[in-house]
Amino acid sequence: MTTLKNDRFLRALLKQDVDVTPVWMMRQAGRYLPEYREVRAQAGDFMSLCQNPELACEVTLQPLRRYALDAAILFSDILTIPDAMGCGLYFAQGEGPRFMKPVQTPGDVEALEVINAEKDLGYVLDAVRLIRKELNGSVPLIGFSGSPWTVATYMVEGGSSKEFAIIKSMMMNTPTVMHELLEKLALSVIDYLNAQIDAGVQAVQIFDTWGGALSAHAYREFSLAYMNKIVAGLNREKDGQKIPVILFTKNGGHWLEAIVESGCDCIGLDWTLPINEARARVGDRVSLQGNMDPAVLYGDASAIRREVGLILEQFGHGNGHVFNLGHGIHQHVNPDHVTAFVDAVHELSAQYHA
Amino acid sequence: MTTLKNDRFLRALLKQDVDVTPVWMMRQAGRYLPEYREVRAQAGDFMSLCQNPELACEVTLQPLRRYALDAAILFSDILTIPDAMGCGLYFAQGEGPRFMKPVQTPGDVEALEVINAEKDLGYVLDAVRLIRKELNGSVPLIGFSGSPWTVATYMVEGGSSKEFAIIKSMMMNTPTVMHELLEKLALSVIDYLNAQIDAGVQAVQIFDTWGGALSAHAYREFSLAYMNKIVAGLNREKDGQKIPVILFTKNGGHWLEAIVESGCDCIGLDWTLPINEARARVGDRVSLQGNMDPAVLYGDASAIRREVGLILEQFGHGNGHVFNLGHGIHQHVNPDHVTAFVDAVHELSAQYHA
């Protein structure tokens, strides 16, 4: 189906036969790797690293040099879109992301313009083209975006939040304004992901990190509805190859039946719902990605192997499983433990694909 | 069944007939109330407030003076047990709880002693007796404890945590040590809750705030198993009255079938699982408590009323519903919004109990 040397990841997303279960990790290019920290220090701040295609390419490739991962993921951030919209993204020392101009009033929302990715986020597309060239067909490259709801939480709160007081007030008291913001973000995400696909990414993932902070009905109205719109607006094929779409709502396990309806190819799972239960609920309609607790990587090699074996056994025989963590890898994990993890997935999964 | 003037709360917990759905709020005695902040300032630090029975009684009663709540909950903290064990609880300015002596090595765990509540936590029991006297039979008083897993997260991490790196390392690499700690905490919780029951609380809730950070199988082994032990060890009757037990695992909606097996009377729900789905899964075996997103209280009175109506409609006709938020009330909520909330529950629920 492709000229890739290793196409397990794309095949599993589309529920096709594979020899072993493919594996990658959210945030696999990141702070747990000493070589990443070195490049990061060289770049200066985090956004300078994202905005430098050569350095972004370098850190994207780093984990692939260490581990037998079945996919690369573009090194970037979910907040490049609001940054391109003029919200003034910065990272305060030792804190999370912050915005100089939070979006909190009807006027703030009205003033925002839908981005043009080619013009506004050319540095990301340059990075995609460079990474594809450097990967040279070894494994596929994943592009990504935050979901409109998740990106909006940072824009409205002005940074990270625990209780989402400001955005939930907006949602309750001025739902029309909230929808206007989400609509502009959805259109921006469609343009951004289609530009990433044009530039060469071979699958895309939408990270809905904070959809799970909503009630079931609020999730449908304020998060899922906009992901549905995005899935419908994406170019799902390029050069005769299907571009699979993964939706990942952390803490969204109660809503799998609704998420399936989006038309996505794959649902990402956190580790609270056993993958066999998820599979029973979605049937053959989508593939599943997940779902090991990232904290298992604090365990020794035998503990990691035991947990990998358990999840593979839960999924059982058949196609449609991409192994991953249920959230990004933690920064204090010992890099050697990742070797044990990746190798365990490949070694222990062969029996389920015989 | 009791000489209480208002026994709706206890009756609903036991799935008996009520005229309207009872309502209370987790953290109803708290920082959103200006009169609480005044007493808190007078007491000095947070622990001094907990340790002063007169002041603890005063803040327990404050929300009942403003709102038609159907239960009072003892003002205290889930970390009184490790404080009594000698871990040195303190609250740093603007931060969460901290321990001077975190419990991280096998030796640390071995050195801990199971508490004797009468001897070690007499100030809590004095507060219970005083509150019962002051309530004078108006509404029932709820006692509580943290779950062993949840309390252990603070003891091992030395305070609040996002990733639970240290305790999950302990769980993975030295499970025997982890179990020894949880066992000591479970025995302490049993003694503590039985002492609260002796002193006069009329129902108890176990707060498992962080059980939902675990995978399904780790939850059963490291959190639920110890709550099962506690439920089995409690004095479930006092002076001919049943003492109902509520288990609340935040983010535990995937595991309701397992939680029911504990033998608890009621399961607390967060707001991610619609309460009709929860009810269909647990049937008549337990009552349900919940489950409005606390952030709905940022909405105006009509938005609050709409959401209350939706949850009541989802639960539908029949017994066994205690209305509550899905987590503690946020500190920046306008106290007048709580009036709208409590009144809406009573007004809109009568039709379901006709």
- CB-based burial, A236-267: b 16+ in 10 Å, e otherwise: beeeebbbbbbbbbbbbbbbbeebbebebbbb
CB contact under 8 A, A295 and B168: yes
pLDDT for B68-121, tens place per residue? 999 999 999 999 999 999 999 998 877 789 999 999 999 999 999 999 999 999
Q: Which two tokens stand for residue A351?
A: 């029996």
Q: What is the pLDDT of residue A6?
A: 98
Cα separation of B95 and B74, whole Å? 23
**Among the partner residues A165, A272, A330, nearest to B165 by beta-carbon distance:** A330
**Closest chain B residue to A291 measured between Cα atoms?**
B215
| A174 contacts in chain B (CB < 8 Å) | none
What CA–CA distances, in Å, run from B227 to A11, A77, A263, A266, B146?
Answer: 43, 40, 41, 36, 10
Residue A81: per-residue pLDDT: 98
- Residue for token pair 């106290």: B335
Tens-digit pLDDT profile for residues B205-261? 999 999 999 999 999 999 999 999 999 999 999 999 999 999 999 999 999 999 999
The average confidence (pLDDT) of chain A is: 97
B281/B276 Cα distance (integer angstroms): 9
Among this protein's residues, is B27 annotated catalytic? yes
How high does pLDDT run on average in chain B?
97
Strand A203-208, strand A141-146: pairing: parallel
- Strands (E) across chain B are located at 72-73, 89-91, 97-99, 141-146, 203-208, 237-238, 241-242, 245-249, 266-268, 287-292, 321-325
Asked if residue B338 lies in contact with residue B66, where contact means CB atoms within 8 angstroms, the answer is yes
Cα–Cα distance between A212 and B23 in angstroms, integer? 25
Minimum-distance CB partner of A299 among B163, B173, B277:
B173
Rounded CA-CA distance B325/A153 in Å is 22
Report the candidate in A50, A198, A195, A71 with the shortest Cα–Cα distance to residue A135: A71
- Strand pairing partners for B268? B248, B289
Are B346 and B23 a contacting pair, CB within 8 Å?
Answer: yes
Q: Once rounded to an integer, what is the mean pLDDT over residues B308-337?
A: 97
The pLDDT tens digits for B157-212 are 999 999 999 999 999 999 999 999 999 999 999 999 999 999 999 999 999 999 99
Mutation site, B219, B298, B308, interface A, largest A CB count within 10 A? B298
Q: What is the pLDDT of residues B121-147, one digit of tens each?
A: 999 999 999 999 999 999 999 999 999
Can you say how many angstroms the Cα of residue A225 is from the centroid of all Cα atoms in its chain? 18
Q: Is B226 a catalytic residue?
A: no
**How large is the average pLDDT for residues A303-327?**
98
pLDDT for residue A107 is more than 70: yes
| Alpha-carbon distance A255 to nearest alpha carbon in chain B (angstroms) | 9
Say how far apart CA A70 and CA A79 lie, in whole Å: 26
Query: For the residues A36-65, what does the mean pLDDT come to?
Result: 96
> Is pLDDT of B12 > 70?
yes
Q: How much is the pLDDT for A1?
A: 40
**Residue whose C-alpha is closest to residue B337's, from B294, B290, B273, B283:** B294
Provide the token pair at B97.
């709880």
* pLDDT band with cut points at 50, 70 and 90 for residue A202: very high
B342: amino acid identity, one letter = V
Q: How far apart (Å, rounded) are the C-alpha atoms in residues B72 and B53?
A: 15
Whole-angstrom distance, CA of residue A191 vs CA of residue A179: 18
Q: Is there a contact between B172 and A298 if contact means CB atoms under 8 Å apart?
A: yes
Adjacent-strand bridge partners of A266: A246, A287
Contact in structure between B106 and B181 (CB atoms under 8 Å): no
Tokens linked to B241: 């009255």
Q: Is the pLDDT of residue A95 over 90?
A: no
User: Is A227's pLDDT higher than 90?
Assistant: yes
DSSP run (H or E) holding A325: strand A321-325
Q: Do B299 and A173 touch (CB under 8 A)?
A: yes
Average pLDDT rounded to a whole number, residues A61-78 = 98
Task: Report whether B71 contacts B22 (CB < 8 A).
Answer: yes
pLDDT exceeds 90 at position A112: yes
Residue corresponding to tokens 């070690």:
B120
The answer on pLDDT for B2 being more than 80 is no
CA–centroid distance for A83 within its chain = 18
The two tokens of residue B230 are 């506690």
Summarised one tens digit per residue, pLDDT across range B328-350 is 999 999 999 999 999 999 999 99
Nearest to B265 by CA among B280, B285, B250: B285
Q: Where are the beta strands (DSSP E) in chain A?
A: 72-73, 89-91, 97-99, 141-146, 203-208, 237-238, 241-242, 245-249, 266-268, 287-292, 321-325
Residues in chain B: 354
Of the candidates B163, B169, B254, the beta carbon closest to that of A253 is on B254
A94: pLDDT strictly greater than 80: no
Q: Which two tokens stand for residue B134?
A: 């002051």
Q: What is the pLDDT of residue B95?
A: 78
Q: According to the model, what pLDDT value does residue B1 have?
A: 40
SS3 A207: strand
| ipTM for the whole complex | 0.95
> Is B298 close to A173, i.e. CB distance below 8 A?
yes
> Does any CB of chain A come closer than 8 Å to the CB of residue B295?
yes
Give the mean pLDDT of A40-60.
Answer: 95
Q: Considering only CB atoms, which chain B residues are within 8 Å of A294?
A: 163
| Cβ pair A251:B253 closer than 8 A | no
C-alpha B6/C-alpha A343 separation (Å) is 62
A222 vs A69: CA distance, rounded Å: 34
